[in-house]
Amino acid sequence: MRILGIDPGIATIGFGVLDSDKSRQVLVKCGVISTPAHTSLASRLALIYDDMCCLLEGFRPDAVSVEELFFNTNITTGISVAHARGVILLACQKAGVKIYEYTPLQVKQAVVGYGRAEKAQVMDMVKRICALPSVPRPDDAADAIALAICHARSLTSLLYKGDNEECSTI
Protein backbone atom coordinates (compact mmCIF):
# COMPACT_ATOMS: atom_id res chain seq x y z
CA MET A 1 0.00 0.00 0.00
CA ARG A 2 1.26 3.47 -0.85
CA ILE A 3 0.57 6.13 1.79
CA LEU A 4 1.01 9.89 1.45
CA GLY A 5 1.50 11.59 4.81
CA ILE A 6 0.76 15.31 4.97
CA ASP A 7 1.78 17.74 7.71
CA PRO A 8 -0.42 20.79 6.98
CA GLY A 9 0.85 24.35 7.13
CA ILE A 10 0.54 27.59 5.21
CA ALA A 11 4.21 28.47 4.58
CA THR A 12 5.54 24.90 4.61
CA ILE A 13 3.57 21.70 4.06
CA GLY A 14 5.46 18.50 4.72
CA PHE A 15 4.87 15.39 2.64
CA GLY A 16 6.14 11.85 2.92
CA VAL A 17 5.39 8.94 0.59
CA LEU A 18 5.74 5.44 2.04
CA ASP A 19 5.26 2.00 0.59
CA SER A 20 3.98 -0.24 3.36
CA ASP A 21 3.74 -4.00 3.42
CA LYS A 22 2.35 -5.15 6.79
CA SER A 23 5.16 -4.37 9.25
CA ARG A 24 7.68 -2.92 6.76
CA GLN A 25 7.69 0.70 5.61
CA VAL A 26 9.93 1.98 2.83
CA LEU A 27 10.34 5.71 2.21
CA VAL A 28 9.75 6.59 -1.44
CA LYS A 29 10.07 10.37 -1.27
CA CYS A 30 9.70 13.22 1.19
CA GLY A 31 9.90 16.96 1.05
CA VAL A 32 7.90 20.13 1.43
CA ILE A 33 5.56 22.35 -0.47
CA SER A 34 6.62 25.94 0.21
CA THR A 35 4.62 29.08 -0.36
CA PRO A 36 6.29 32.48 -0.62
CA ALA A 37 6.01 34.88 2.29
CA HIS A 38 4.17 38.16 1.72
CA THR A 39 1.87 36.48 -0.79
CA SER A 40 -1.90 36.66 -0.52
CA LEU A 41 -3.66 33.81 1.24
CA ALA A 42 -5.60 33.01 -1.93
CA SER A 43 -2.37 32.70 -3.94
CA ARG A 44 -0.81 30.47 -1.32
CA LEU A 45 -3.88 28.22 -1.24
CA ALA A 46 -3.87 27.94 -5.04
CA LEU A 47 -0.19 26.92 -4.98
CA ILE A 48 -0.85 24.32 -2.26
CA TYR A 49 -3.78 22.90 -4.22
CA ASP A 50 -1.79 22.69 -7.47
CA ASP A 51 1.21 21.06 -5.76
CA MET A 52 -1.04 18.61 -3.91
CA CYS A 53 -2.64 17.62 -7.21
CA CYS A 54 0.85 17.01 -8.65
CA LEU A 55 1.82 14.85 -5.65
CA LEU A 56 -1.40 12.85 -5.89
CA GLU A 57 -1.05 12.34 -9.63
CA GLY A 58 2.67 11.59 -9.49
CA PHE A 59 2.68 9.11 -6.59
CA ARG A 60 -0.88 7.74 -6.85
CA PRO A 61 -1.25 6.91 -3.14
CA ASP A 62 -3.83 4.42 -1.90
CA ALA A 63 -4.43 6.54 1.21
CA VAL A 64 -3.59 9.97 2.57
CA SER A 65 -2.81 10.49 6.25
CA VAL A 66 -3.32 14.09 7.39
CA GLU A 67 -2.68 15.60 10.80
CA GLU A 68 -5.67 17.06 12.57
CA LEU A 69 -5.23 20.66 13.61
CA PHE A 70 -3.91 21.53 17.01
CA PHE A 71 -4.55 25.15 17.95
CA ASN A 72 -1.90 26.69 20.10
CA THR A 73 -1.81 30.32 21.23
CA ASN A 74 -1.66 31.98 17.78
CA ILE A 75 -5.21 31.73 16.47
CA THR A 76 -4.42 33.79 13.34
CA THR A 77 -1.83 31.26 12.20
CA GLY A 78 -4.24 28.47 13.10
CA ILE A 79 -6.93 29.90 10.85
CA SER A 80 -4.51 30.14 7.90
CA VAL A 81 -3.39 26.56 8.47
CA ALA A 82 -7.04 25.50 8.63
CA HIS A 83 -7.58 27.08 5.20
CA ALA A 84 -4.56 25.21 3.84
CA ARG A 85 -5.73 21.96 5.41
CA GLY A 86 -9.11 22.43 3.72
CA VAL A 87 -7.44 22.81 0.34
CA ILE A 88 -5.35 19.70 1.01
CA LEU A 89 -8.45 17.69 1.90
CA LEU A 90 -10.23 19.03 -1.20
CA ALA A 91 -7.38 17.96 -3.49
CA CYS A 92 -7.39 14.46 -1.98
CA GLN A 93 -11.16 14.16 -2.20
CA LYS A 94 -11.24 15.28 -5.84
CA ALA A 95 -8.47 12.77 -6.63
CA GLY A 96 -10.60 10.02 -5.12
CA VAL A 97 -8.05 9.05 -2.48
CA LYS A 98 -9.23 7.86 0.94
CA ILE A 99 -8.35 10.36 3.69
CA TYR A 100 -7.42 9.38 7.24
CA GLU A 101 -6.93 11.98 9.96
CA TYR A 102 -4.81 11.57 13.08
CA THR A 103 -4.12 13.72 16.12
CA PRO A 104 -0.54 14.43 17.21
CA LEU A 105 -1.16 12.13 20.20
CA GLN A 106 -2.16 9.26 17.89
CA VAL A 107 0.89 9.80 15.69
CA LYS A 108 3.27 9.74 18.66
CA GLN A 109 1.56 6.65 20.07
CA ALA A 110 1.84 4.80 16.74
CA VAL A 111 5.43 5.81 15.97
CA VAL A 112 7.06 5.86 19.41
CA GLY A 113 4.61 3.87 21.54
CA TYR A 114 4.00 6.81 23.88
CA GLY A 115 1.49 9.56 23.12
CA ARG A 116 3.41 12.23 25.02
CA ALA A 117 6.75 11.52 23.32
CA GLU A 118 9.10 14.41 22.57
CA LYS A 119 9.62 15.55 18.99
CA ALA A 120 13.22 14.25 19.00
CA GLN A 121 11.96 10.77 19.92
CA VAL A 122 9.49 10.79 17.02
CA MET A 123 12.17 11.96 14.59
CA ASP A 124 14.58 9.25 15.76
CA MET A 125 11.92 6.56 15.33
CA VAL A 126 11.10 7.81 11.81
CA LYS A 127 14.78 7.36 10.96
CA ARG A 128 14.87 3.87 12.50
CA ILE A 129 11.56 2.59 11.09
CA CYS A 130 12.48 3.67 7.56
CA ALA A 131 16.13 2.58 7.95
CA LEU A 132 17.42 6.03 6.98
CA PRO A 133 20.98 7.24 7.57
CA SER A 134 19.70 10.42 9.23
CA VAL A 135 16.50 12.17 10.24
CA PRO A 136 14.79 13.65 7.17
CA ARG A 137 14.92 17.44 6.91
CA PRO A 138 13.16 19.75 7.20
CA ASP A 139 11.14 18.73 10.26
CA ASP A 140 7.88 19.16 8.32
CA ALA A 141 8.90 16.35 5.97
CA ALA A 142 9.83 14.08 8.89
CA ASP A 143 6.48 14.88 10.54
CA ALA A 144 4.69 13.89 7.33
CA ILE A 145 6.57 10.57 7.25
CA ALA A 146 5.48 9.99 10.87
CA LEU A 147 1.87 10.53 9.75
CA ALA A 148 2.29 7.95 7.00
CA ILE A 149 3.86 5.50 9.47
CA CYS A 150 0.95 6.11 11.84
CA HIS A 151 -1.52 5.09 9.16
CA ALA A 152 0.55 2.07 8.12
CA ARG A 153 0.64 0.86 11.71
CA SER A 154 -3.06 1.57 12.18
CA LEU A 155 -3.79 -0.75 9.26
CA THR A 156 -2.14 -3.62 11.10
CA SER A 157 -4.03 -2.82 14.30
CA LEU A 158 -6.90 -4.97 15.46
CA LEU A 159 -8.87 -1.71 15.67
CA TYR A 160 -8.87 -1.28 11.88
CA LYS A 161 -12.42 -1.85 10.68
CA GLY A 162 -11.94 -2.32 6.94
CA ASP A 163 -11.95 -0.33 3.71
CA ASN A 164 -15.37 1.23 4.20
CA GLU A 165 -14.88 2.54 7.72
CA GLU A 166 -12.46 4.81 9.51
CA CYS A 167 -9.60 3.40 11.52
CA SER A 168 -8.23 4.56 14.82
CA THR A 169 -5.27 3.97 17.08
CA ILE A 170 -7.26 4.86 20.19
pLDDT tens for the chain, 170 residues: list them: 999 999 999 999 999 999 999 789 999 999 999 999 999 999 999 999 999 999 999 999 999 999 998 766 666 778 899 999 999 999 999 999 999 999 999 999 999 999 999 999 999 999 999 999 999 999 999 999 999 999 999 887 655 555 544 544 44
User: Among this protein's residues, is 7 annotated catalytic?
Assistant: yes
Which of these is catalytic: 19, 67, 101, 163? 67
If DSSP codes are grouped into helix, strand and coil, which group holds residue 64?
A: strand
Which of these is catalytic: 57, 68, 124, 140? 140
pTM exceeds 0.85:
yes
User: Among this protein's residues, is 140 annotated catalytic?
Assistant: yes
Q: Spell out the residues 6+ positions from residue 121 whose beta carbon is closer than 8 angstroms to its own.
A: 108, 112, 114
